[in-house]
Copies of this chain bind each other. A is one copy, B any other.
Amino acid sequence: MLNFEFKNPTKILFGKGQIAQIATEIPAQSKVLLLYGGGSIKKNGIYEQVKEATRGFEVVEFGGIPANPEYEVLLRAIKVIKEEGITFMLAVGGGSVIDGTKFLSSAALYQGESPWDILSKRIRTEQGLPFGTVLTIPATGSEMNSGAVITRSETQEKLGMGGPGLFPQFSILDPQVVASIPQRQLANGITDAFTHVLEQYMTYPAGALLQDRLSESIMLTLVEIAPKILADPSDYEAASNFMWSCTMALNGLIQKGVPTDWAVHSMGHELTAFFGIDHARTLAIIAPNHYRYNFEKKKEKLAQYAERVWSVGQGTIEEKARLAIEKTENFFRSLEIETKLSAYTASYEGTAEKIAQNFRSRGWTGLGERKDLKPEDVEEIVKMSY
């Protein structure tokens, strides 16, 4: 097991009717900026519950944060925060709204020239403007971690940021919200969470027996609830396990003491920046081929995963490992997620070269758990994914 530090101070309020708790979690006298996305919360009743719960506060609203939270939109929100003297933010939405709010949390207190520095210069946020969240789409885990990914369409960039100042003060997880999520987003959420676990697990054995089993627990649960959720998103048992699994997949716990990969995300982000493909779907396109390409380096963990998650009992390590990749790809397909780039765009030719070039131009440090993947390797993996 590798050395690690772990601290996650976010308070989780999980279950039916927890939205009403907002009133006691936001500091008294706060001037609140209520942030949300395209307005689905006005159709499913969540907006009304939040308004009711925040009645005692002065609340300014900022809606319209798009999927893949867009830098230009967020710049407008910074203006509102400063003009209105906002002291607390409440993000009501999925990962995009919460990630956007994290950027605002950092940018509102940033003293440098341009808030884009936070992303381009990888400035760690030690302290941010405090915020809470009401999660409406389980997927990214952003509700209980200190990371965010921001998109700038002007430059076709999608970059990450983070730091201990960016944990939500609280996050409200009411699984009843799952009932009104469209099938497409349910499938995305399951795929996103599952791939988050893979990125922290599918490396090489590092003697972290407990962490391996915790990761397998989340994957086993997602595999178990996936068909139930898609068949009936109002199934509370399935919805609550779906929601808590997504949070646990990326709240820092399972990555502690183990090597982590994240190459699938690095490549996937590029596909979203180029083609606007849903984040989760880019992961499903890249992950199986990433594992095929790096088969020798990852086969021990692939075989263990085959045994414990997919109950593969027979065969050599290589046979089990190969089967594991097939099972993973089939799992994504069972969610009606296409796993080839060509299923999403006709103009995929040249993508691999462009991504490799982007990586080169950003100052290449090597991808994957061994930091040994070069732009040429990325180019091959993306080509395998056409």
Interface residue ranges, A against B (CB under 8 Å): 1-18, 175, 207-211, 213-214, 216-218, 220-221, 224-225, 236-237, 240-241, 244-245, 248, 253, 256-257
Contacts and interface: CB of A to CB of B under 8 A. Distances in A.
Nearest to A1: B240
A6 to B, nearest CB: 4
Contacts of A241: 1, 207-210
**Which 3 residue pairs spanning A and B have beta carbons closest together?**
A3-B15, A213-B217, A7-B11
Given A217-B216, A220-B213, A7 B10 contact: yes
Nearest to A244: B210
B5 A12 contact: yes
A313 to B, nearest CB: 12
B15 A4 contact: yes
Contact of A245 (B3, B5, B13, B210): B210
5 contacts: A207-B241, A209-B224, A209-B241, A211-B244, A214-B217
A210 B221 contact: yes
B9 A7 contact: yes
B8 A8 contact: yes
A216 B213 CA distance: 9
Contacts of A253: 253
Nearest to A207: B237
Given A7-B10, A211-B244, 9 more contacts: A1-B237, A1-B240, A3-B16, A6-B12, A14-B256, A207-B237, A209-B224, A213-B217, A214-B248
A266 to B, nearest CB: 27
A13 B5 contact: yes
Contact of A14 (B5, B16, B220, B237): B5
B257 A14 contact: yes
B224 A218 contact: no
Contact of A244 (B1, B5, B17, B224): B1
A213 B209 contact: no
A102 to B, nearest CB: 19
A241 B5 CA distance: 15
A353 B209 CA distance: 43
Contacts of A218: 210, 213
Given A209-B241, A210-B221, A221-B210, A5 B11 contact: yes
A145 to B, nearest CB: 14
Contacts of A5: 11-14
Residue from A6, A9, A175, A220 having most chain B Cβ neighbours under 10 A: A6
B244 A225 contact: no
